[in-house]
Structure 1
Amino acid sequence: MTTNLTAIVNARLQGRDGLHSLTVQAGKFGVITPQATSVVAAENELDAAGNLVAPAFVEPHIHLDAAMTAGEPRWNQSGTLFEGIECWGERKATLTRDDVIGRAEQTLKLFAAHGIQYVRTHVDVTDPQLTALKAMLEVKERVAGYVDLQIVAFPQEGIWSFRNGKELMEEAIRLGADVVGGIPHFEHTRDYGADSVRWLVELAHKHDRLVDVHCDEIDDPQSRFLEVLAAEALRLDYGSRVTASHTCAMGSYDDAYCSRLFRLLKLSGLRFLSMPTESLHLQGRFDSYPKRRGLTRVPELLDAGLKVAFGQDSIRDPWYPMGNGNMLRTLDSGLHACHMLGMNWIERSLELITDNGAAALNLQDYGIAEGLPARCIVLQGETPYEVLLGQKPVKASVRDGRVLVDRPVEAPLAGLNLG
């Protein structure tokens, strides 16, 4: 359905009491008006049916070039990050343009069906031919009608540790990558890792690009590249454009070190991404018992006033064999794993898959307000609590006033008749 809307009626908005109508003019939100009672939707109006309307979901961290390749050419039996990289290295050798485009578009259509309209994908550029990057630049244009796509030049096998790694990164930026990536904990030495972080931030600053680094995605408490990234962001006054993804090692840092680290993090203003389902699967693999959860300090970062968002990371690839594109599943897992099921966290939880992800992507016209692009979703539930309890697909997804998805409201589960 691609109806051009004139209004969304009978909507609930977080932070506002009662029902509201949202007018839509030329693909943008117009006046938002309280409703005294429920109304019947007119032609070209979308009935939110008393459900919560939120900004469109943001997927801030995914690897579309590897999506839908789980088991090819073999399964990651150990479940470790490192075997996943080995499996991907074998699969990467067989990549073609059509292969990458087909799997990426399949995944993005799945995302769109779940109300995701903004995606940041990491694309492996440790390939001398840059096959995946060139294909993903095509995909970006092909899907622009339903998804805004940011592309990260991601050096999966390192910058310093991969032959011509720096040159490939520079070529990726020249071709059109939006974001500069890195993976310092996978470089051969700590010095290589620290040098790579300094270099990539300088590269982004020089070319006016964003930064998103796979940073300390490991249980090792001695992996401390986050402090290097934060210091560089602070030095260049670039923190709002720099994202630290994963930072799993922070879950193993001692509190004394963290007390100093958090001072730097707050000064730098970095954005943070945590991928709860993937980290729960990949981390703690070298522990017997007790086993670490492998997630960063999400509630502590939020309490410090820093922006943290959740992402899916993988969809059926060598690192994670599961995934269905539903951000509510990711949110639910993250809240459980991070001990964030207090009602104070639940009530603000949607920001972890909406506003905070938008901050990481440095989106300038995101949200529900007069004059902004009319991009939103209708959830199934009146409150974040009800939405999380139901875990139902989005009722509707609207993009620039066009209805991309419109589903009937699902009825509550009926009681069993055991008589």
Structure 2
Amino acid sequence: MDLIIRNAKVKSQESTVDIGIKDGKFVQITETIQEKAMKEIDALENLVRPPFVESHIHLDSALSVGNPRYNQSGTLLEAIDIWGEYKTNFSKEDVKTRAKQAIQWLIANGVLHIRAHTDSTEPNLRTMKAILELKEELKQYVDLQVVAFPQDGIFAYQGMDSLLEEAIKMGADVVGGLPQAELTREDGIKSIQYVFDLAEKYDKLIDIHTDETGDDQSRFTEVIAKFTIERDMAGLVTASHTTAMHNYHNDYAAKLIHTIRRAGVNIVTNPFSNALLQNRLDGYPKKRGTTRVDELLASGVNVSIGNDNLMDPFGPIGKGSMLQAAHLLLHTAHLSGEKQIGQLFQMISHNGAKTLHISDGYGIKEGNKADCIILDATDEKEAIRLTSECLYVIRCGKVISETKPAKRVVRMDNDSFQIDFKK
């Protein structure tokens, strides 16, 4: 074998196994593998999991914070204005350089599948060209799924509908939308229909930024679910953000969640940006800018997590950690129950794979592509609590990232104590 991972905990409550890899595939998963391999890793009874899935991020704006100015109000509207100013003066090479560094951060944090929402309203489509080129250049290291995202709307400005279609023709994998950016609700509904028409025409997935506001009258998610049912597209459509759902009347929210489940629409929540940007105008008390994750999960809706923004006008901090995003969501969405913590881990792995429509072949299973990570944690709760380091990232059986955990020593009464924050 090319690689054997020994003493691996592939499920938190079960005993350890050895994992054998050859020719880029998992070939044997059993209690003990007797033969030797060219390379062996002792997982030390830590978690070995399929790679994390980044369900929603904007690589084209990543690491641009402060250019051309800082978002002083912290609002979504100012962030959009700043990005609009910035994108008039950048080069394709600038986008590629920043996006590549962001991808490297994500890989170091165990992410090997990324859905990248990419601005399709820039007149020369430099952003699309940059991210599509990176998709090809980095394909041996990471799977990049590109969304053509109409940042300024589809019908709010002349010609944006044509730019969106051109971005799809260039090779985008997913058709995006932003109905609340349109001038009227009627145009918002028209834009959703246009997105579905493009997706059917070019055989693409759909991922729409929708109801990303604290306005309880913003109700485009129901329209997305309606079109999904009518077009028979269950599992192929994603509604991202849906933060207005937090503020809906409970009767309406219950009906909507039932419709989302019936439609088979995926939901993506983005804890960092949703908590930071939403409900800025509330005064006190301030509502949380998070969709109803607990109710969605309880009703059987597929919910996954994205970082959304990484050091850009929409979010000035971050390091691309899915565990950090899950950790924040645990607090802001009240997901501290034992079962819910396990669901959080699913949201950054298997649920994300379902959102990206890549479940076939995803996971640690004999015959699957040998993509996996080894975390510095013995169970999922510990991984989220500690936002654990990713000790190894393995792509097609090859180690492409390695991290050595920090060593901490506390000295008291002439004794030394090594601290790893584990009981």
- Residues 211 and 418 of structure 1: CA distance in aligned 2, closer, same or farther (over 3 Å): farther
- Per-residue CA distance 1:43-63 (angstroms, 9 max, x = gap): 412221110111101111111
Give the corresponding residue for 1:295: 290
Return the alpha-carbon distance in structure 2 between the equivalents of residues 92 and 108 of structure 1.
Answer: 20
Distance 2:376 2:36 in 1: 18
Match of 2:140 in 1: 145
Q: Which runs of 4+ in 1 moved over 4 A?
A: 39-43, 413-416
Cα distance change, pair 76–418 in 1 and its aligned pair in 2 (3 A): farther
Q: Give the superposition deviation at 1:253.
A: 0.7
Percent identical: 41
SS of corresponding position for 1:403: strand
Q: 2:27 maps to what in 1?
A: 30
Q: In the alignment, which of 177, 184, 190 is matched to residue 189 of structure 1?
A: 184
2:392 maps to 1:403 = no
Post-superposition CA distance 1:219-273 (Å, at most 9, x none):
0000000000011011111120101100000000111101221221111011110
State the partner residue of 1:162.
157
CA distance in 2, matches of 1:330, 1:125: 26
Amino acid of the residue matched to residue 249 of structure 1?
A
TM-score calculated relative to the size of structure 1:
0.95
Among residues 4, 8, 12, which one is paired with 1:11 in the alignment?
8
Q: Secondary structure at the match of 1:348?
A: helix
Deviation at 1:6, TM superposition (A): 2.5
Structural mapping, 1:362-377, within 5 Å: 362-363=357-358, 364-377=360-373
- Contact kept? 2:58, 2:309, Cα under 8 Å: yes
**Alpha-carbon contact 1:180-1:210 (below 8 Å) kept:** yes
Deviations 1:144-169 (A, max 9, x none): 12111011110000001121111111
Asked if the contact 1:120–1:151 (Cα under 8 Å) also holds between the matched residues in 2, the reply is: yes
* Unmatched tracts of structure 1, length 5 or more: none
| Alpha-carbon shift at residue 358 of structure 1 (Å) | 0.8
Quote the RMSD (CA, aligned, Å). Answer: 1.7
Q: Structure 2 counterpart of 1:23, which letter?
A: G
1:126-137 alignment runs, 5 A limit:
126-137=121-132
Instruction: Give how far 1:343 is off.
Output: 1.3
Out of 276, 293, 309, which is 2:304 matched to? 309
SS at match of 2:31: strand
SS of corresponding position for 2:259: helix
Residues 5 and 403 in structure 1, CA contact (< 8 A), matched pair in contact too: no
TM-score by length of 2: 0.94
User: How far did 1:294 drift?
Assistant: 0.8
Distance 1:345 1:5, change over 3 A: farther
Aligned partner (choices 60, 63, 71) of residue 76 of structure 1: 71
For 1:376, the aligned partner's letter is C
Q: Write the letter of the residue equivalent to 2:338.
A: M
Change beyond 3 A, Cα 1:208–1:240: same
Please say if 1:215 is aligned against 2:210: yes
Give the corresponding residue for 2:89: 94
Correspondence for 2:326 among 321, 331, 350 = 331
Answer whether contact 2:50 2:373 (CA < 8 A) is retained.
Answer: yes
1:381 aligns with 2:374: no
> What is the CA distance between 1:374 and its match in structure 2?
0.6
Deviation at residue 172 of structure 1 after TM alignment: 0.7
Aligned partner (choices 249, 252, 257) of residue 262 of structure 1: 257
- Shift of residue 392, structure 1, vs aligned partner: 2.5
Aligned counterparts, 1:238-257, within 5 A: 238-257=233-252
Structure 2 stretches of 5 or more lacking a match?
415-423
CA shift, 1:349, in A, is 2.3
For residue 14 of structure 1, what is the amino acid of its counterpart? K
8 Å CA contact 1:41, 1:47 repeated in 2: no
Determine if contact 1:348/1:384 at 8 Å carries over to the other structure: no
What is the aligned partner in structure 1 of residue 418 from structure 2? none
Preserved contact between residue 108 and residue 402 of structure 2 (Cα < 8 Å)? no
Work out whether residues 327 and 385 of structure 2, in 8 Å CA contact, stay in contact via their aligned partners in 1.
no
Q: Tell me the matched-pair count.
A: 413
Measure the CA separation in 2 of the matches of 1:409 and 1:71: 31
1:35 and 1:207 map into 2 onto residues whose CA distance is 48
Residues 385 and 416 of structure 1, relative CA distance in 2, 3 Å threshold: farther
SS in 2 for 1:59: strand
Q: Say if 2:118 and 2:146, in contact at 8 Å, map to a contact too.
A: yes
**What is the SS of the residue equivalent to 1:341?**
coil
Rounded to whole Å, the distance in 1 between the matches of 2:412 and 2:251 is 57
Quick check: 2:12–2:379 contact (8 Å CA) kept in 1?
no
Which residue number in structure 2 is paired with residue 283 of structure 1?
278
Change beyond 3 A, Cα 1:349–1:171:
same
Answer with 257-266 or 159-168: which moved more.
257-266
Partner Cα distance (1:97, 1:158) in 2: 22
1:236–1:42 CA distance, 2 compared to 1 (3 A): same
Cα distance, 1:406 vs structure 2:
2.7
Tell me the distance in 2 between the aligned counterparts of 1:264 and 1:327: 28
Counterpart residue identity of residue 141, structure 2: Y
Distance 1:156 1:130 in 2: 12
Rate the CA distance shift 1:41–1:278 in 2: closer, same or farther, 3 A: farther
**Paired AA for residue 369 in structure 2:** P
